[in-house]
Structure 1
Amino acid sequence: MRTLSIIGPGRVGRSLGKLFHQLEVFQITSVMSRSLESAVSSSAFIGAGEPVISIEQLSAADVFMLAVPDDEIEHQVSRLRQYALVETDCIVFHCSGSKSSSILAPLRECGAHVASVHPVRSFADPALVVSDFHGTMCGIEGDQLALQTLSAAFGAIGARVFELSPEHKLRYHAASVFASNYLVTLIDVAQQCYVAAGLDLDLAARLAQPLASKTLENCFRLGTTAALTGPIKRGDFETVQRQENDLLSLDRSIAELYKSFVPLTTEIAKRSGAE
């Protein structure tokens, strides 16, 4: 069984580490975090791996997984190279959706095969991720040998792997941000507006939840053009303008967000009318 060292056991690192350990895909050797407390708790969650707090403490491994924030990848690459931990024919991959595997190029010069693997899902609750990871789409790109090994490894934990174009990863990841992160922002803004209209937060959540859930269901069952309802779809632009003016008195940022959606939503409505 190949060995795996995890650098950055946040929610992604913990989840994948536990899956790899549970399903005996990799033998976890080291779990590196910024603090010993985090490293110990992450190792305990995964069920394997020696908790460490610095690169020089990492054990040698066949595979290194960098599950750190995007801005830290380059630094960790430099440290791995500095301490000569990457041996010929080992595999190094990161989990960033926005950065390509080219950021790992200095390690390729050391003989490593590099790649990136981006699971397209929310990792808000690692325990839940572990329980329902099967079927998760994972975008992958990089060196051929690394792709072969990692495609098999992720397939073994239930992932459905697809290839990405490295030159378009920023655009690809922006799509994921719209589909996930900004949905959270929109729901939060909707709840703020309900509360500002005099409702309590519990009722605001109970109103937003079925509305958002059914709309998402319709988007993927019927398509976005058929799923669109509301004032823009009806052509009620006087209502749209009055709502924008009212929101300006509440919060300029929320009003500007509302306004920014008008032209894009109008285009969807036009497509719908043309069908």
Structure 2
Amino acid sequence: MRPSVSIIGAGRVGTALGLALKAANYRVEIVVTKHRVSAQRAAKLIGPQTVGLAEAQLDGLSRSQVASFNRASLIIIATPDDVIAPVANRLVTVFRLKLFGLARREKSAPSVVLHTSGALSSEVLAPLRKLGFGIGSLHPLLSISDPKSGADLFSRAFFSVEGDAPAERLARSIVHNLGGQAFSIPAGAKALYHAAALTASPNMIALFDIALEMLSSCGLSRRRAQQVLLPLVESTLANLKVRDPKWALTGPFKRGDAATIRRHIAAMRSANLHDALAAYALLGRRSLALAKSQKANRSGHEAITRILSALNDDNKSPR
């Protein structure tokens, strides 16, 4: 029998998880969220057990809502990162006040608390461990723009899980039942892990926006520029699905085409595209390192090294 769940936080991740868990035959007992709009949206997708209530006021739940909360064997905190610790502390206060009837630790009482942060480890929930809870984190490595499509993506997603042994086992079970794949990293590496995810996803959006700016300087509208570039991005991702980055790399850095690199830099300078030039220099050095690992066209790669070194010196010079 799959455990029943209570969820605190009904933003994109919390609502997507609630929707996916419900579809996977988990019983979602109650969803508590701070914002009225989020509560209404979650209620439409998950069910009427969604309650609009400030997370810091969990003791404001009605008797029937408390009963629903207490029936769950798992609590998932899916709030913004800076709210997780206050929610955990508030739960401790509520439980100690016996508002949820946990004084005797009934078998039906919640036994595991998970949060969904990518950057924080399970230790942010440490106060709950003192009350006998297993604590852990369950982070879907996905870009979730809306709950419904996000719920559909879980079946092919990777999830980072860590925490106490019972919590990690339960988290892995959830991932398996959602159709995803779980992996673990040390708790102390969560921030670096999340920075890697940021680099591969949200920062990729920022890089794409720089490319849009560059094509806009060529006379294309932003909308048309996006249409033009997306197939290129998709083909690059297709290469990455089957090749290591050093073999998926294409273009003038791989070829050692120093003349083209010079033309690129001159064009960006002429158009006063300073962000583009800075990104080009930084990522160009990494592209060059990948290209050099293949040990081809060494003279071309050395010429590009000198070009990028000079560009770096120029960027450091006062304007």
TM-score, normalised to structure 1, is 0.90
**2:292 paired with 1:270:** yes
Equivalent residue, structure 1, for 2:231: 210
| Helix, strand or coil at the partner of 1:32 | strand
Residues 20 and 152, structure 2, Cα contact 8 Å, conserved in 1: no
Equivalent residue, structure 2, for 1:41: 41
The CA deviation at 1:23 is 2.1
Kindly tell me: are residues 47 and 250 of structure 1, through their superposed partners in 2, closer, same or farther at Cα, counting changes over 3 Å?
Answer: farther
Q: What is the aligned counterpart of 2:92 among 81, 97, 100? A: 81
Q: Kindly provide the CA deviation profile for residues 237-266 of structure 1, in whole angstroms up to 9, marking residues without a partner as x.
A: 354344335434433233222221121111
**2:232 paired with 1:221:** no
Equivalent residue, structure 1, for 2:304: none
The CA deviation at 1:30 is 2.2
Kindly tell me: are residues 228 and 99 of structure 1, through their superposed partners in 2, closer, same or farther at Cα, counting changes over 3 Å?
Answer: same
Range with greater deviation from structure 2 (134-143 or 43-52): 43-52
Q: Kindly provide the CA deviation profile for residues 186-237 of structure 1, in whole angstroms up to 9, marking residues without a partner as x.
A: 2221112111111122331222111111111112222211221222222233
Equivalent residue, structure 1, for 2:205: 184
| Helix, strand or coil at the partner of 1:202 | helix
Superposition RMSD in Å: 2.2
Equivalent residue, structure 1, for 2:221: 200
Distance in 2, Cα, partners of 1:238 & 1:185 = 27
Distance in 2, Cα, partners of 1:149 & 1:215 = 36
The CA deviation at 1:44 is 1.8
Identity %: 30
Q: What is the aligned counterpart of 1:252 among 274, 285, 288? A: 274
Highest Rg: 1 or 2? 2
AA aligned to 2:92 is R
Equivalent residue, structure 1, for 2:137: 116
The CA deviation at 1:144 is 0.9
Unaligned runs of 5+ in 1: none
Unaligned runs of 5+ in 2: 298-319
AA aligned to 1:159 is G
Equivalent residue, structure 2, for 1:162: 183
The CA deviation at 1:268 is 0.7
Q: Kindly provide the CA deviation profile for residues 62-95 of structure 1, in whole angstroms up to 9, marking residues without a partner as x.
A: 2111111222211211221222278446211111
Equivalent residue, structure 1, for 2:305: none
Distance in 2, Cα, partners of 1:48 & 1:151 = 28
Residues 233 and 269, structure 1, Cα contact 8 Å, conserved in 2: yes
Distance in 1, Cα, partners of 2:181 & 2:248 = 27
Residues 191 and 205, structure 1, Cα contact 8 Å, conserved in 2: yes
The CA deviation at 1:50 is 3.2
Distance in 1, Cα, partners of 2:21 & 2:37 = 22
Distance in 1, Cα, partners of 2:279 & 2:149 = 32
Q: What is the aligned counterpart of 2:161 among 140, 143, 154? A: 140
Range with greater deviation from structure 2 (247-256 or 156-165): 247-256
Equivalent residue, structure 1, for 2:283: 261
Distance in 1, Cα, partners of 2:143 & 2:77 = 18
| Helix, strand or coil at the partner of 1:99 | coil
Distance in 2, Cα, partners of 1:113 & 1:151 = 14
Name the count of aligned residue pairs: 274
The CA deviation at 1:274 is 5.9
| Helix, strand or coil at the partner of 1:133 | helix
Equivalent residue, structure 2, for 1:129: 150
AA aligned to 2:32 is M
Range with greater deviation from structure 2 (253-262 or 5-14): 253-262
AA aligned to 1:265 is S
Residues 21 and 48, structure 1, Cα contact 8 Å, conserved in 2: no
Residues 29 and 48, structure 1, Cα contact 8 Å, conserved in 2: no
Range with greater deviation from structure 2 (6-15 or 217-226): 217-226
Equivalent residue, structure 2, for 1:240: 261
The CA deviation at 1:106 is 0.7
TM-score, normalised to structure 2, is 0.79
Distance in 1, Cα, partners of 2:50 & 2:253 = 57
AA aligned to 1:5 is S
